[in-house]
Each structure stands twice: as structure tokens, then as C-alpha cells.
Amino acid sequence: MEFIHRSRRLRANQMIRDMVRETRISKNGLIYPMFVMEGTGIKEEILSMPGQYRYSIDKWMEALEEVTKSGVRQVMLFGIPDHKDACGSGAWQEDGIIQKALQKAKQQFPNLYYITDVCMCEYTSHGHCGILDGSYVDNDKTLEVLAKTAVSHVQAGADMVAPSDMMDGRVLAIRQALDKNHYVTTPIMSYAVKYSSSFYGPFRDAADSAPAFGDRKTYQMDFHNRKEALKEALTDVEEGADIIMVKPGLPYLDILREVTDHVNVPTAVYSVSGEYSMIKAAAMAGYVDEAALVCESAVSMFRAGASILLTYYAKELAVYIEEGRIG
Ligand code: PBG
């Protein structure tokens, strides 16, 4: 048999494999999600996410020291308030948990980049992502509180805001509110393509944000849909989103690729709590090689088009990249 194409030529040794690699990843594209709560001296492991913690602000400072050491430069911040109410006022109060945490962190670690999750579900007594009208989440009423929350985060020091509520029109509402307050240079990363997913289960333990009744299907997306993802992404770009996020990650690589190909802004992907917990549990049981799985999963999300990866494994990944396991 005569043939001339031999793909194995470019796989002959590590050096040539490194040279022809198509996907290169950098720790600059990693974002580490973290949870802060009221109180002092608290570093509480999240039961369904071994290795991840809820921190009081003082302990969070120690955790940020570790983040800095790992080489990760961006964090995504979630707040767990002491008091919740029907309209989620803890989200935008000047002495809210996020606001206090940011002020402290910006002083102590000014070289980190702080992104805040803008949503109501951690702050409302009913656990829904907006203001209720009966049992329905009222879209337009929610826009006002989201915009107010985003502005208060930026006032407290947030470098970027990331609305995750899935209300229609929220990117525009937030953009206009930021601009009106002269925060014209603060970018918005929109959780534009956010599916209603069971992969968020462990997060809701972590943030104590499970809805008290019903589910999030009237605002988060149906996972059977693909075209709708493009609609959400394109609408948010039009409304002024600077970065478009797809979430969850691994089960939605098809969507990530398609969205990346259709928008003219960078795409981010959120490898969510359930993805973390699955790998962690399998690793703790001794069934899989944790580092290898984490590396392969991360590369697959960058290969599918993401420029940015939000992951609870960010610190480990930064080390793996430094060690040359992946790159
Ligand atoms: C808040 C929010 C959620 C996540 C990020 N922001 C939970 C939800 O929508 O129920 C999930 C993150 C994760 O699972 O890691 N709305």
C-alpha cells in the first residue's frame, strides 16, 4: 500500500507535539469563584464541594493570599448575607457582605481583579433570582434592583460585574445605570447563555440559594434548546455585554462552540459546581486521576472556543500550567 499522509509524524515526541499544539491555555484566562459570609474566623468547608469553602471576610484575606500565590489573578465573588428578605435588599446595601468584602480586599490585594455575581437569589427569602409578583418572578421590577446592585458593587470596588439572573433586558439596564454613575469603563460579563441545570446543585448548598418553591425554569434556559442560546447571546451583545458566558461547561461544549462562532466578543465558560463535585467525588473514591481529568476538561473548554474559564479548580490549574502539564 502506498500512502503519503502520516499524521504520526507530528506526534513523534513531546517537542513536536508542543510545537503543533492547536489550543494553548494561560492562567490569565482563569477565574476562581469564591464565597464570602458575615462573621469572623470562619472557614467552612462546603459539604457537597470538598476543598471549597465559605469564608468570613478576615479568613477570605488568607484565602486571597493563596490565590495570589497560585498565579490566578481573577476572582468571582458570591455573597452569603445573614439576613434575607423578599426584595433581597442585602444585595445592594452599602454595608452588604459583598460591599464590605470588596472594600477590604481592594485595600489588601489591589492587584487581583474582582468580578461580582449580580443576582438576587442569595439575598431573597424565597430564593428566586428576582422580585416576586405572586409566584412569578417579575422581570421589569427586578431590573431596577439588579441595576442598583451592580452600581453598589462597582462603588465598593468591583472591577467587572456579571449578571446571572436571566431577566430580559438586564444587561442594558445595568449598562445604563453604570454609565449614569460615570462607571463607563466597567465591563459587563453576561451570563447570557445560562441553562436551567441540575449541575448547580452543590452551589445552592454553598450559597444557600435553592428556591423555596418551584424552580428557575421560567427564567433560565431549557437545555433542549440551541438556537435560543444564539438569541440570548446576540441580544446581550446588542445590549452592551462585553463578554458572553455559557454555563454549565462540559455538557454544553456544542453551545460554547456555536456561540463563540457567532459573537464578536470574547466568550467565557463556567464549569459549575456539579462538574467540580463529580470529578472531586470520583477522585476521592480513587476511580480517576484528578489532575489529568481537570487538565483535559479545561483544555476541552478552551478548545470549544472559550477565552475565559471560571472553575473551582482554578488554583490547581494555574499550577498545572506552570508545571507544563498542559499549556
Ligand atoms: C446565581 C448563580 C448560580 C450559579 C452562579 N450564579 C446558581 C443558580 O443559578 O441557581 C451556579 C454556579 C455553580 O453551580 O457553580 N444565580
The alpha carbon of 203 and the centre of ligand 1 are apart by a number of angstroms equal to 6
Comparing C-alpha atoms, which of 257, 300, 307 is closest to residue 275? 300
Give the model's pLDDT for residue 1. Answer: 78
Nearest ligand 1 atom, CA 272: 15
Kindly report the CA angle at 210 between 206 and 215, in degrees rounded to 5?
Answer: 145
Q: How far is the CA of 122 from the centre of ligand 1 (A)?
A: 10
Q: Is the CB of 91 under 6 A from ligand 1?
A: no
Tell me if residue 194 is catalytic: yes
pTM equals 0.97
Contact residues for 75 (Cβ-Cβ < 8 A; gap 6+): 31, 32, 33, 34, 64, 67, 112, 113, 114, 115
239 lines ligand 1 (CB under 6 A): no
In ligand 1, the atom with minimum distance to the C-alpha of 210 is 10
Question: What's the pLDDT at 42?
Answer: 98
Q: In degrees rounded to 5, what are phi and psi of residue 49?
A: -135, 70
Burial class (CB in 10 A: 0-12, 13-18, 19+), 1: exposed
Active-site residue 69, yes or no? Answer: no
* Sequence-distant (≥ 6) Cβ neighbours of residue 111 within 8 angstroms: 68, 73
Per-residue pLDDT tens listing for the chain (327 residues): 799 999 999 999 999 999 999 999 999 999 999 999 999 999 999 999 999 999 999 999 999 999 999 999 999 999 999 999 999 999 999 999 999 999 999 999 999 999 999 999 999 999 999 999 999 999 999 999 999 999 999 999 999 999 999 999 999 999 999 999 999 999 999 999 999 999 999 999 888 889 999 999 999 999 999 999 999 999 999 999 999 999 999 999 999 999 999 999 999 999 999 999 999 999 999 999 999 999 999 999 999 999 999 999 999 999 999 999 988
45, β-bridge pairs: 53
Residue in 27, 59, 247, 280 annotated catalytic: 247
194 CA: nearest ligand 1 atom = 9
Max CA separation in the chain (angstroms): 76
CA torsion angle 103 108 111 114 (round to 10): -30
116 lines ligand 1 (CB under 6 A): no
What is the 121 CA–ligand 1 centroid distance (Å)?
9
User: What pLDDT sits at residue 176?
Assistant: 98
Q: Is the dihedral of CA 254, 255, 260, 263 positive or negative?
A: positive
Tell me, rounded to whole angstroms, the distance of Cα 236 from its chain centroid: 17
Query: From the CA of 12, how far away is ligand 1's center (Å)?
Result: 43
